[in-house]
């Protein structure tokens, strides 16, 4: 998994401010001493990798990042190990989370939303063509490349899995507001949930588009159990206040993505050919 082993990371990088936290990691900014290049570094304590599940998740994440090269997916630079930690060095995306931009500026006008969503679609098409399912698409995992810019990249492959017809995905992972109903079948029974695949990402993308256009989630409840019940039944509405100026094309696309049955749900190819994305560049 490692590209290089060092006694200490400070021989190669100067670590800076904390940028975020994951399940068993912390992400920090870093400057490479040789050329002054700036990066984002996921720091994982090696002691946490004694847990087989954590080790497998990290190895899968690194293996996936190594094979992905796309304008709208975060790039891996290298993996460095020391006696105490493993460092996943990635490009630094300095524009902040899509989530924060929605909080700061409110819902996007439709043209801007379509431009952004087209970028996410291109990234997901690249992922799915490699048989990779992200499993945690949400605004917090879409970062702008620079402050005030419009280009975005998909990040955080900690939950990602490799899918095949012979070996579909299993298990509960993701974020409650964004997780697909078929993934939720693992919530109450870790042994008898439904197998699932790429369609689970399409559901999450449908929730994402709803949030971008309205500034709020389609599913909302005080108790998690009630929230998950809404998700399981695709129980949501287009409230007049938030949706009065949004086109029928946009709402139609969301309706076709937020379908409980993954066999009936719109495919990613169907999403990309939908009229909502008409005239958008989907070749990247």
**Dihedral of the alpha carbons of 147, 151, 156, 159, in degrees to the nearest 10:** 150
Q: Residues near 116 by Cβ (< 8 Å), separated by ≥ 6?
A: 98, 108, 150, 152, 212
Q: Is 83 exposed, middle or buried (0-12, 13-18, 19+ CB in 10 A)?
A: exposed
Angstrom distance (rounded) from CA 126 to CA 183: 22
Q: What residues pair up with 199 in beta bridges, in sequence order?
A: none
Q: What residues pair up with 143 in beta bridges, in sequence order?
A: 97, 153
Answer yes or no: are the C-beta atoms of 49 and 129 closer than 8 Å.
no
Angstrom distance (rounded) from CA 80 to CA 112: 38
Please count the other Cβ atoms lying within 10 Å of the Cβ belonging to residue 103: 11
Please count the other Cβ atoms lying within 10 Å of the Cβ belonging to residue 145: 17
Give me the catalytic one of 35, 85, 136, 281.
136
Cα 121 → chain centroid: 12
Instruction: Assess whether 252 carries a catalytic annotation.
Output: no
The answer to whether the annotation marks 42 as part of a ligand binding site is yes
Angstrom distance (rounded) from CA 27 to CA 44: 9
DSSP state of 148: T
Answer yes or no: are the C-beta atoms of 253 and 188 closer than 8 Å.
no
Residues annotated as part of the active site: 136
Annotated binding site for ATP: 42
Binding residues: 42
């Amino acid at each position: 998994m490692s590209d290089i082993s060092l006694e200490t990371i400070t021989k190669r990088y100067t670590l800076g401010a904390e940028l975020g936290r994951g399940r068993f990691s912390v992400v920090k900014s870093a400057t490479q001493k040789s050329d002054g290049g700036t990066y984002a570094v996921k720091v994982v304590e090696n002691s946490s990798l004694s847990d087989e599940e954590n080790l497998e998740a990290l190895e899968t994440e690194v293996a996936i990042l190594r094979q992905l090269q796309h304008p709208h997916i975060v790039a891996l630079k290298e993996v460095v190990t020391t006696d105490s930690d493993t460092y996943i060095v990635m490009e630094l995306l300095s524009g902040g989370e899509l989530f924060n931009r929605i909080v700061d500026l409110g819902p996007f006008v439709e043209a801007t939303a379509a431009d952004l969503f087209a970028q996410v679609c291109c990234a997901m098409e690249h992922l799915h063509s490699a048989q990779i399912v992200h499993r945690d698409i949400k605004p917090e995992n879409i970062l702008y490349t620079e402050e005030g810019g419009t280009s975005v990249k998909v990040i955080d492959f900690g939950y990602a899995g490799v899918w095949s017809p012979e070996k579909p995905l299993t298990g509960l992972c993701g974020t409650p507001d964004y997780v697909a109903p078929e993934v939720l079948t693992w919530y109450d029974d870790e042994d008898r949930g439904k197998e699932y695949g790429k369609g689970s990402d399409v559901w999450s993308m449908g929730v994402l588009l709803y949030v971008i256009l309205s500034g709020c989630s389609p599913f909302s409840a005080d108790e998690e159990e009630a929230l998950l019940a809404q998700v399981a039944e695709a129980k949501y509405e287009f409230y007049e206040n938030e949706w009065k100026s949004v086109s029928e094309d946009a709402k139609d696309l969301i309706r076709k993505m937020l379908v409980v049955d993954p066999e009936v749900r719109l495919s990613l190819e169907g999403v990309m050919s939908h009229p909502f994305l008409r005239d958008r560049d989907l070749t990247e």
